[in-house]
Structure 1
């Protein structure tokens, strides 16, 4: 069952290994890898949080605001990019069995896409996030970005 403390593991500082496709909709596109750093701050006694990821290789930062709706026991995740200054449509979902799955609708390169975020391998010292797009309303998914989070040396979260 999902709770307001699902993302407590994420509070604090992280090193991030990014891996993304050069074309998010092309299964034959190359993957590129680059480092980043992230910091997540808890809000609303754990029922919300805000993180910022710094990706110097892309000359970009991103931020995610996560809000827990106690009535539906679902999270809404809102991504913003420093490149566009845009707040993207939310993905919503929950954690079950240690895995968080979140879905939403967006556009990419002028095409309507379903978006899926998955959080897995969650612990106080590591976690994995992945993003996938579907152009056929969720029949098939193409993973186009993964982030592997590890704690910097000497830190164990907040």
Structure 2
């Protein structure tokens, strides 16, 4: 394989390998909920596209039943941004709208415009790779980004 051209980004190298995951999901979106459901999971991430992408395979061990999901990430050299898609195994024919963004000082911020139950929303993912246990969180905004409601948090521990 040729090694000419740009070098693959190292932004997501922190998440490569096998992990146990602690999930926390808010018990209602835009409903004023303040309780969370906590459950465990497993995650395994490998590079693809010669390092310009990766795929994360997940087993989510929810109290309502286990399910699988995958995150697909790719890096655009032209835009200096990552795109992240989510594929839920319970709906295997559709990828979620991708979030796009980049890392600065170990914090990755990724945004998208989407629709939830017919209402336009903004989606935000924040990856924090600054500690020994990386974290991820998802937040939604239904007021064009003026306020955000975090609705899913994950903490990753090396398996």
TM-score, normalising length from structure 1? 0.88
Contact kept in structure 2, 1:122 and 1:128, CA below 8 Å: no
Q: Deviations over 1:59-105 (max 9, x none)?
A: 22111110000111100001110112220110000001110000001
Partner of 1:96: 104
Hey, what does 2:5 align to over in structure 1?
Answer: none
Does residue 41 of the first structure (1) align with residue 49 of the second (2)? no
Task: Say whether the 8 Å CA contact 1:25–1:144 is kept in structure 2.
Answer: no
Stretches of structure 1 that go unaligned for 5 or more consecutive residues are: 153-158
3-state DSSP class of the match of 1:87?
A: coil
- Look up the match of 1:11: 16
Partners of 1:121 and 1:8 lie apart in 2 by 10
Runs of 4+ aligned residues of structure 1 deviating over 4 Å after TM superposition are none
CA distance in 1, matches of 2:68, 2:29: 18
Q: 2:71 aligns with which of 52, 60, 64?
A: 64
Which stretch of structure 1 is more off in the superposition, 52-61 or 7-16? Answer: 52-61
Query: Which residue of structure 1 aligns with residue 80 of structure 2?
Result: 73
Q: How far is 1:25 from its partner?
A: 2.2
2: distance between equivalents of 1:119 and 1:138? 18
Considering Cα pairs closer than 8 Å and 6+ residues apart, tell me whether 1 or 2 has the greater RCO.
1
Provide structure 2 residue ranges, at least 5 long, that are not aligned to the other structure. Answer: 1-7
Instruction: Report the CA distance between 1:121 and its aligned residue.
Output: 4.0
Alpha-carbon contact 2:27-2:33 (below 8 Å) kept: no
Give the alignment's TM-score, normalised by structure 2.
0.88
Q: In structure 1, what is the equivalent of residue 55 of structure 2?
A: 50
Aligned pairs, number:
149
